[in-house]
């Protein structure tokens, strides 16, 4: 069995997910599988200047540039964060509100970003989902590799077309 790597993780939220972000931040800092945690916001009082797209794009950008391996984002539903993070080339983000979805997000789709909804799930479930999600590693020899590769091909082709390359 493959040993779980030590992850570098970005974490962020909007004002609707701030309470969970703080809980999850503490958990990540105490998780032996996590070597580094980067908090991309928000902080109390930032709600007027930073909205979920700002936070999601900052965290997803860190994933895309290789500064972190994964990111955890929290907003009211998790949906806005996932939509925003998925706009960053090379990033696959998903909203998960149950263990099976969190598992399949990595094993079937190689998602590097997990988004959660503070208004949708309880705090203990959110904490459990992050713990579980960090334990999954995508297997590049799995049958899902071809599907993920198709997504990557399209994304790179579409990105090149938009840039005029």
Q: What is the pLDDT of residues 65-96, one digit of tens each?
A: 999 999 999 999 999 999 999 999 999 999 99
86 part of a folded domain: yes
143 part of a folded domain: no
150 part of a folded domain: no
Per DSSP, the residues of 41-71 read: ---TT-TTT--HHHHHHHHHHHHHHTS-SEE
Q: What's the confidence (pLDDT) of residue 116?
A: 98
Residue ranges making up the domain that contains 61: 7-138
Give the pLDDT band of residue 156 (cuts 50, 70, 90): confident
Query: Which residue in 24, 28, 75, 130 is the catalytic one?
Result: 75
123 part of a folded domain: yes
101 part of a folded domain: yes
Q: What is the pLDDT of residues 38-57, one digit of tens each?
A: 999 998 877 667 899 999 99
Catalytic residue check, 111: no
For the chain, give the mean pLDDT: 93
Domains contained in the chain, number: 1
The pLDDT of 19-29, averaged and rounded, is: 98
Whether the CB-CB separation of 30 and 55 falls below 8 Å is answered with no
Reference 97, options 69, 71, 76; nearest CA is: 76
CATH code at 35?
3.40.1400.10
Cα gap 94→109, rounded to integer Å: 9
Q: What's the confidence (pLDDT) of residue 1?
A: 47
The DSSP output letter for 31 is -
Q: What is the pTM assigned to this prediction?
A: 0.93
Q: What's the confidence (pLDDT) of residue 2?
A: 53
């Amino acid at each position: 069995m493959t040993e779980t790597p030590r992850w570098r993780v970005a974490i962020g939220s909007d004002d609707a997910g701030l309470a969970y972000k703080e809980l999850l931040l503490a958990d990540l800092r105490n998780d032996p599988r996590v070597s580094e945690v980067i908090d991309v916001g928000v902080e109390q009082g930032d709600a007027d200047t930073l909205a979920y797209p700002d936070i999601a794009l900052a965290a997803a950008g860190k994933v895309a540039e290789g500064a972190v391996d994964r990111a955890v984002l929290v907003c009211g539903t998790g949906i806005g964060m996932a939509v925003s993070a998925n706009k960053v080339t090379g990033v696959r983000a998903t909203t998960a509100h149950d263990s099976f979805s969190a598992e399949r997000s990595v094993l079937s789709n190689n998602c590097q970003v997990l988004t959660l909804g503070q208004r949708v799930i309880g705090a203990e479930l959110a904490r459990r989902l992050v713990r579980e999600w960090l334990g999954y590693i995508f297997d590049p020899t799995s049958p899902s590799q071809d599907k993920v590769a198709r997504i990557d091909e399209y994304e790179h082709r579409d990105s090149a077309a938009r840039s005029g390359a």
